[in-house]
Each structure stands twice: as C-alpha cells, then as structure tokens.
C-alpha cells in the first residue's frame, strides 16, 4: 500500500479517486506541530535548537497517519507546492521517523492544480524533500518566534495596554499609523474650478478654464470665490473658438493573470472581500480542482494553459481579439518567487463554477486569465483647445473613444481611488475643426478643497506591503487579521483606522526599536530568507546575525522603569500630544487648573494625558485625543451642576468605554453612559440619565412594575424578566403605560425565548446570497447574533456588533449552517416517543449509561499537566 499525505480532506478525497486502488490518501488538516507558545521553544544558546509540540486537535489525525504508515510500503508527501507545504511534509516525515514507523521509501510530489492529468503526471516525477525550503521555513518560524516572545514581555511590563508585536505585523501597523498622522497633519486648501458647458452639433460637452489673463492655471491658482467669479464672468462674456484639435491614438495592454496579492486587491475592490475571505474561497476552488494553486508570486501560465486560453478566445471572439503571439509576463514585485504559475482556471472551457462567493471569485479569476492573452485595446484620446480673441484665455476639453476594446471586452482592473479628471477624460467629444465656435450653455464656478491621502483599504495596504517587499503575499491575510484581533486597528467602510493602542505601540517601537520597524530592515530580512530558500545562505547564520543585536537591545529597554518609558514617549510624541496653540500659550499648561503641566502617563487600561497637579486637579485626556482639542477641559472632567436632592456634583467624564455622567465621587458614585442620540448633553439630561431606571407604572395584569432604562444594546422596557426594545433614548422618559403594555405584548408575541430579546434588529444587511433571507443583527439572551431567518450565528466575543460587515455576517451564518443543528436540538430524538417507553422497561441499559455522564474525575489529571511540566 502507498500512503499519500495532503493537507485537506477535500483534496484527499479527490486525489484518492484519481489514483485508484493501491493508494490510501490521508489529510493532515494543515500543520500537525508548532513551537509551543512558551519561553525556551527556540534556544539561541544551543545553536537555535527548536522544540515542537503536536497540536491538541491533531491527535486523532496523527494517529490515523501513524497507523497507516505501519503497513505502507511507500510514503508520498503531496502537500502544497510552497514553503509551508514543504514544512508540513517535513513535520510528517520527522514525526513518523521519531515514532519509528517511517516507510523505507519516502518521496515528495507537488502539483499546481488538482486535476486527474496533473496529479497522475506529478506522481511520475517524485523528488526528495527540498532542504533549502525547509531551512527557510525554520528560519522564518524561529525569527518570528524570537521577535514576538522577546519583545512581547517588554511591552507587557513597560507599555500599558499593549498585547503583542510581530516582525511583519508591527511594520504593517506602522503604515496605518503613519497614514493616520498624515491625515491629521493635512491642512485642507480651498480652490475653485471654472467649467464651461458647451454644445456643438447637438452634443454637449464640458471645457475647463486652463489659462486666465495669460497665465496658466494650476490646481490652486483660483484660491477664493472672488477670483473664481471674476474668471467666470470673463468666460461668460468672451467668445471662444476652437484653436487646436489634437487626436492621439494609444494602446492599453492587458494585465497579467492573478498572483496572491493582486487577487486579494481585486477581490477587495470589486467584490468587497477581505483578504482572509478571499483566501478561504480560493482554497475551496483550488481543492475542488477549479483553479490552480492560489499562493503564488508568479505571473506566467503554463504553455498548455496559454493554448487553451487562446482557443477559448478564438471560439468566442473574432480574430482581431487574439494576438498573433502568446503573451508572456514577468513580475515586477520585490522578492517575488516565480516557482509557480499564476492563478488561473484549470479548464478554460468552463466560464462558470460554483455558486455564491465561489462563483464570483471564479468569474474574476477566469476573466483576468483570459484577458491576459487577448489583444490590446485601441483608444483614441482627443484634446480640444479653445481660445478667445485675445489669446489670453483658454478652455480645454478632453475625451476618449475606444476604437477597439480588445481585452476590455472581458476585463478591466479596478482602482483604489477615483482620480481627479476621470469623468472629463472619459467623456465623448463631438467632431470639431479649427475655427468652430461651440454654443455656450452656461458657465459654472465650483468650490473644492484639497483632500488628505486616503486611509488604507485592505487592497491598497496589501499593495503597499508588496511594493516595499515586506512579508509574503500568502501571509498578508493572517497579518491583517492579527491587527484587528489585537484591537490595534478597526475598519470602517473597508478602511483601516489606527486605534489608540496601535498608535501607542507604534510610537514605542519607533522610539525604542527603530531599526526593527524600519521598512528597509524588514524587507532586507525577506531578502535574507529568500537567500536561504535559494540555498545561498545558511539559516542559522541569518538568525545569529539578527539575534546578536536584537537581544541586547531588548534587554536594555527592559531595564528602563515604566515611568522612564512614559517620559521618553511623552517627549517623542510631544508634537502630536501638545501641538502649538494659536494664542501662543504653553500647550502643556493644564486647561483646567492653569497651574499644573500636562504629560503622558500610563494606567491600567492604557496611556492618557494628565495634570501634574494631581490630586488637587483631576484633569485627564485620552491619549488618542489630540492636544489641540483641549479647549477648557471640556468633556473630560467638567462639573455640570449640583444634584438638587443630594447636593453632590454631577460631572461629565470620559472613560474607557466612552463618555458618561457621574453623581458624587468614589466607588459608590452613581454613573450612567451618555447615549449618542441625545445631541448636546446638558444638566437636565444628566439628571434624567442618572435617575434611571424609570418606573412607568404597574402592569394591569400582574401588578408588577414596568421599568424603562438604557442597557448594553440601547433603550428598553422590562417587566417580569421580559423585555421590549425602544427606538430612541427619549422614549425611555416619554413612553406611557398603554404604549408600554402594547410594546411588551408585541415582543412576547414573538414566542418563547424570543420574547426576552429586542423585537427590532440592531442592524440589517440585506439578503443572504444563498438562502435569500434578510440578514439581521439581533440582541440575544447570550449576546448579539446574526440570522438570515433560518440559521442563527453568535458573534465572536472579540467582535463588536457595530463593526460587523455584510461579508462577515455571511461567513458566520455559512459556517454555523455547515456545522448542522446545535446539540440538544436533534428533532429525531424528540419524535422518538416509543423508544422512551422501551427505555423505561430496560433499567439495565439505563443504569449502564449513567457512568458515562460522570467523566469529571477523569479530567483532573489532565488539568495538572502544566504543573507537572513546569516542575
């Protein structure tokens, strides 16, 4: 028997069908071992010795592989054709060798697509495991471990609120934070444009004023309304004639087929997919045999695939769409490894595959690959210049006409951001000759403001990382997910925003570890790792060079006291935290007491700005709140008035979870969050919020009170453990008895447990692409969940309901549906009444089942394992 090892069960099932009798194909379900998450797993002082630990959930899989290996004559390692695939094969081989069940014959087989022809051909060309790729994996894994496990303890002890740092993730975070700084430093400038609306031969078009009073107009030349109106008046009064007509033919060439990075970018732009979702869907398509391997830097296609693509083009289009010679591409990405093909369909006769997100992604891959072998597009760009009689004033109109679409008939690449003038250049212009005088239909003067650089989307961030040569495209999805999971960043409308903790971490690393978050250093490490994979460098030497400088630097920082670290960061961030004030006063003077000086402090939940005059002055400000917004102390600790009943101060404060009002001081002080929908908070509103819960009255049936209050998910009514949602904060104080009883009854009409949750959804996202049911975000008894009316899926604990996107909701519902009905809701058992009766007549069987329910004692030794290991 020949044992074949692959990663996934879907892949195993398909390949076993292709190979037939004599072969047993088992899945490892990805990596089977990893470095234990504890100190000492990599030991630099012992020549970088590494310990490996079996994943807890892989025990049964490894046992199945081990048992099969005992009777196998040959072991064929057929994991993915990349560095990670080589590593998985190496781990399987080493584990079987350690357990002394390794077959005598061990071979490595790789294939770029899961089709019968490709798989059977690959089986005829086995090879040895590639030690250079294994060494590159070991170097990368050890490097990331040493970076994280050396730096993270420094963060925990010296930087409040920090969770972890990573070799690539910290640099990606720096890009996001730096863009945030650019946006904050940006000062918008006003400018105006003057556009004439013209008509010639029945066709309307627009022309921009580009020269005024003999001077060429730059973007910001018309900087105010006065100048713009003066220019507008002149254009309205002058007569403009066509002076020049320039027609310039151009060609646009098709784009190469997708790589991992470009697929992630386009799927984000056109389909709204996150990088991680794109890779999950692509993995499914690959394992189904629909596309080639989806982790690749290569842009070239196999000659046979090129021939298939060209045939598909000739079958669908006339001869003009097929170039005389096949197109060949070379990557321009830094550190690219072109060992594999680009991502393409395995069969160009199939222009559709799958359903839902699989179908959408396949369509994108298919069209891009086909377009890459099509003819160029022929475009005619026309520029018309119109001048008045003096020659001092000039209008310009531009447009383009696609004479031959070529590859554009199939595919056009998306863009991250619309460029200025796109609309003007894409418009059609009427045929005009020198001397023509188009009719003037109107002149508009439009006000504009310069815009800051856009925040990164997943597509643009992945593109930037690739341009800098940082990380590998196959790891970008996981890297970005870590930043979200650590709450260093958040996404809004598919754009990255740096959170307070992310900004502080970046500042810490830039101040104390500048070399290790430098773009050129991180890209240089990728070069060294590529040298290892190419056999041009020894992996332990690369690690030794890194460790020689990194370890002493981390030890040096660890010796600093947290107060010293904060003092350094206070100075490093002074321009951000304490920018110059317009009135010239000292920006560090406390705006509340006017005596103390402001500085950066560290607390249990992170960094903040505080007054040195504490405890006499308790002014504080969030770290992420720029210094320019100090005002007079404003929202952060301002007394609104005294409570007429107790005489205690009613204070507005800003806390970890947002603004709130407080009555009195100390641990017993009453507090209430400030809802977002009440507008401007005043003393009257503060007293209302602190008075909650409000008793609406006694329920006419039960006689028990109905209360109105504000909870975690908004305003609500409560009565005898049952709830009804209110739409606005004002309704908490305005809802009367009749309305309250009706709302509670309507909520209860939902039936059973549904009566305990809000009747109204927290958010709606639109129809589910498969079931068609409307996707809603609901507040449930055990936390928020999403539903399409058929399947309910609880949100992960680290996911904020307000941050949930449509794409994430679909994934949660689909993953929950794939698991089947929840335990305890097996309809078959509920209907099997006769079996229950039979069970009552068989006490012996019932008694036999009782011990199975008492498994708790057996778990006690397992709970002591960590202690034993520590000893």
Residue 94 sits at the vertex; the CA angle it makes with 93 and 100, to the nearest 5 degrees, is 90
What is the rounded CA–CA span in Å between residue 51 and residue 45? Answer: 14
Long-range contacts of 233-236 (CB under 8 A, 24+ apart): 234/393, 235/194, 235/196, 235/209, 235/393, 235/395, 235/443, 236/440, 236/443
Copy the structure tokens of residue 404. Answer: 């031959």
Coil, strand or helix at 479: helix
Q: CB count, 10 Å around CB of 671?
A: 14
Chain centre distance of CA 706: 43
Strand partners, 75: 3, 106
Copy the structure tokens of residue 89. Answer: 């094969």
What is the rounded CA–CA span in Å between residue 733 and residue 710? Answer: 11
What is the rounded CA–CA span in Å between residue 672 and residue 675? Answer: 9
The label of the residue with tokens 């204070």 reads: 651
**Residue whose C-alpha is closest to residue 639's, from 651, 630, 648, 647:** 651
What is the rounded CA–CA span in Å between residue 592 and residue 583? Answer: 17
Side-chain-facing half-sphere of 800: CA atoms under 13 Å: 11
- Determine phi and psi for 870, rounding to 5 degrees: -65, -35
| 818 Cβ contact list (under 8 Å, min separation 6) | none
Q: Provide the angle, in degrees to the nearest 10, between the axes of the packed helices 303-316 and 356-371.
A: 90
Radius of gyration of the chain (CA): 33
Q: Work out whether the CA dihedral 420, 426, 432, 438 comes out positive or negative.
A: negative
Inter-residue contact 711 to 737 (CB < 8 Å): no
Coil, strand or helix at 276: helix
**Residue whose C-alpha is closest to residue 334's, from 470, 171, 172, 462:** 470
Side-chain-facing half-sphere of 263: CA atoms under 13 Å: 37
Q: CB count, 10 Å around CB of 192?
A: 22
What is the rounded CA–CA span in Å between residue 871 and residue 862? Answer: 15
Chain centre distance of CA 8: 25
Side-chain-facing half-sphere of 294: CA atoms under 13 Å: 25
What is the rounded CA–CA span in Å between residue 327 and residue 319? Answer: 16
DSSP H or E run through 641: strand 637-642
Inter-residue contact 622 to 500 (CB < 8 Å): yes
Q: Is 293 a catalytic residue?
A: yes
Among 293, 516, 713, 723, which one carries the catalytic annotation?
293
Q: How many residues does the chain have?
A: 871
Distances (CA, A) of 273 to 269, 509, 777, 808: 8, 31, 20, 9
Copy the structure tokens of residue 844. Answer: 């012996």
Coil, strand or helix at 256: coil
Alpha helices (runs of H) in 43-82, residue ranges in sequence order: 59-70
What is the rounded CA–CA span in Å between residue 110 and residue 623? Answer: 52
Distances (CA, A) of 147 to 174, 372, 546: 16, 41, 10
42, 45, 47, 53 alpha-carbon torsion, rounded to 10°: -20
DSSP H or E run through 296: none
Strands (E) across 18-131 are located at 23-27, 33-34, 42-43, 49-50, 53-54, 74-77, 105-108
Active site residues: 293
């Amino acid at each position: 028997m020949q044992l074949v090892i692959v990663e996934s069960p879907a892949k195993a099932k398909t390949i076993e069908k292709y190979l037939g009798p004599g072969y047993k194909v088992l899945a490892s379900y990805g990596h089977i071992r990893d470095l234990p998450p504890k100190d000492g797993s990599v030991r630099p002082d012992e020549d970088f010795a590494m310990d490996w630990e079996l994943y807890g959930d892989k025990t049964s899989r490894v046992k199945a592989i081990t048992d099969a290996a005992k009777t196998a004559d040959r072991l064929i390692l057929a994991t993915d054709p990349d560095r990670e695939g080589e590593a998985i094969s190496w781990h399987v081989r080493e584990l079987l060798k350690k357990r002394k069940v390794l077959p005598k014959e061990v071979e490595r087989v790789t294939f770029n697509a899961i089709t019968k022809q490709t798989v059977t051909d690959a089986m005829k060309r086995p090879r040895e495991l590639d030690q250079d790729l294994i060494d590159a994996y070991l170097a990368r894994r050890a490097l990331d471990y040493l970076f994280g496990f050396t730096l993270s303890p420094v963060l925990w002890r010296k930087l409040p609120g920090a969770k972890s740092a990573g070799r690539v993730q910290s640099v990606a975070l720096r890009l996001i934070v730096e863009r945030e700084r650019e946006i904050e430093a940006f000062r918008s400038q006003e400018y105006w444009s003057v556009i004439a609306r013209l008509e010639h031969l029945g066709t309307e078009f627009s022309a921009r004023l580009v020269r005024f009073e003999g001077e060429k107009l730059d973007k910001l030349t018309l900087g105010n309304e006065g100048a713009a109106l003066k220019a507008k008046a002149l254009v309205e009064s002058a007569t403009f004639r066509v002076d020049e007509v320039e027609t310039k033919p151009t060609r646009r060439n098709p784009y190469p087929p997708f790589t991992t990075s470009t697929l992630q970018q386009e799927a984000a732009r056109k389909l709204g997919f996150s990088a991680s979702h794109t890779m999950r869907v692509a993995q499914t398509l690959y394992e189904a045999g629909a596309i080639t391997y989806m982790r690749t830097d290569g842009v070239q296609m196999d000659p046979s695939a090129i021939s298939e693509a060209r045939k598909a083009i000739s079958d669908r289009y006339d001869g003009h769409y097929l170039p005389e010679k096949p197109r060949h591409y070379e990557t321009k990405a830094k550190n690219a490894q072109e060992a594999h093909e680009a991502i393409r369909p395995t069969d160009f006769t199939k222009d559709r595959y799958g359903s839902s997100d699989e179908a959408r992604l396949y369509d994108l891959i298919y069209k891009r690959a086909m377009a890459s072998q099509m003819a160029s597009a022929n475009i005619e760009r026309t520029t018309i210049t119109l001048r008045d009689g003096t020659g001092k004033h000039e209008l310009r109109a531009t447009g383009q006409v696609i004479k031959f679409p070529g590859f554009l008939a199939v595919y056009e690449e998306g863009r991250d951001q619309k460029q200025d003038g796109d609309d003007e250049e894409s418009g059609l212009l009427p045929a005009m000759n020198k001397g023509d005088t188009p009719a003037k239909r109107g002149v508009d003067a439009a006000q504009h403001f310069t815009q800051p650089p856009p925040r990164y989307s997943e597509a643009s961030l992945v593109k930037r990382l690739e341009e800098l040569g940082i990380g590998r495209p196959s790891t970008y999805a996981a890297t970005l997910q870590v930043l979200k999971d650590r709450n260093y960043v958040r996404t809004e409308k598919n754009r990255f925003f740096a959170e307070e903790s992310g900004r502080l971490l970046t500042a810490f690393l830039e101040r104390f570890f500048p070399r290790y978050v430098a773009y050129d250093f991180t890209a240089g490490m990728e070069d060294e790792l590529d040298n290892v994979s190419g056999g041009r460098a020894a992996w332990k030497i690369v690690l030794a060079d890194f460790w020689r400088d990194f370890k002493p630097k981390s030890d040096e920082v660890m010796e600093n006291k947290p107060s010293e670290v904060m003092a350094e960061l206070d100075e490093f961030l002074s321009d951000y935290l304490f920018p110059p004030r317009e009135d010239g006063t000292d920006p560090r003077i406390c705006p509340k007491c006017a005596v103390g000086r402001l500085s950066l402090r560290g607390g249990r939940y992170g960094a903040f700005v505080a007054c040195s005059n504490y405890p006499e002055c308790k002014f504080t400000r969030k770290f992420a709140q720029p210094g320019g917004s100090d005002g007079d102390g404003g929202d952060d600790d301002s007394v609104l008035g005294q409570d007429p009943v107790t005489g205690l101060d009613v204070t507005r404060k800003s806390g970890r979870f947002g603004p709130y009002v407080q009555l009195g001081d100390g641990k017993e002080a009453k507090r209430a969050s400030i809802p977002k929908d009440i507008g401007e908070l005043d003393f009257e509103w503060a007293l209302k919020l602190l008075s909650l819960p409000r008793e609406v009255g006694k329920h006419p049936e039960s006689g028990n009170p109905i209360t109105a209050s504000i909870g975690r998910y908004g305003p609500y009514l409560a009565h005898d453990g049952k709830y009804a949602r209110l739409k606005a904060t004002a309704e908490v104080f305005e809802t009367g008895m009749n309305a309250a009883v009706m709302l509670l009854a309507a909520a209860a009409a939902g039936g059973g447990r549904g009566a305990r949750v809000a009747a109204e959804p927290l958010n709606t996202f639109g129809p589910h692409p498969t079931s068609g049911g409307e996707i809603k975000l609901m507040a449930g008894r055990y936390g928020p969940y999403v539903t399409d009316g058929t399947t309910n899926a609880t949100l992960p604990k680290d996911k904020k309901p307000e941050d949930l996107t449509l794409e994430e909701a679909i994934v949660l519902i689909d993953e929950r549906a794939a698991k089947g009905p929840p335990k305890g809701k097996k309809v078959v058992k509920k209907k099997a009444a006769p079996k229950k009766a039979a069970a009552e007549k068989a006490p012996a069987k019932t008694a036999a089942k009782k011990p199975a329910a008492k498994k708790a004692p057996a778990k006690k030794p397992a709970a002591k394992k960590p202690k034993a290991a520590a000893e």
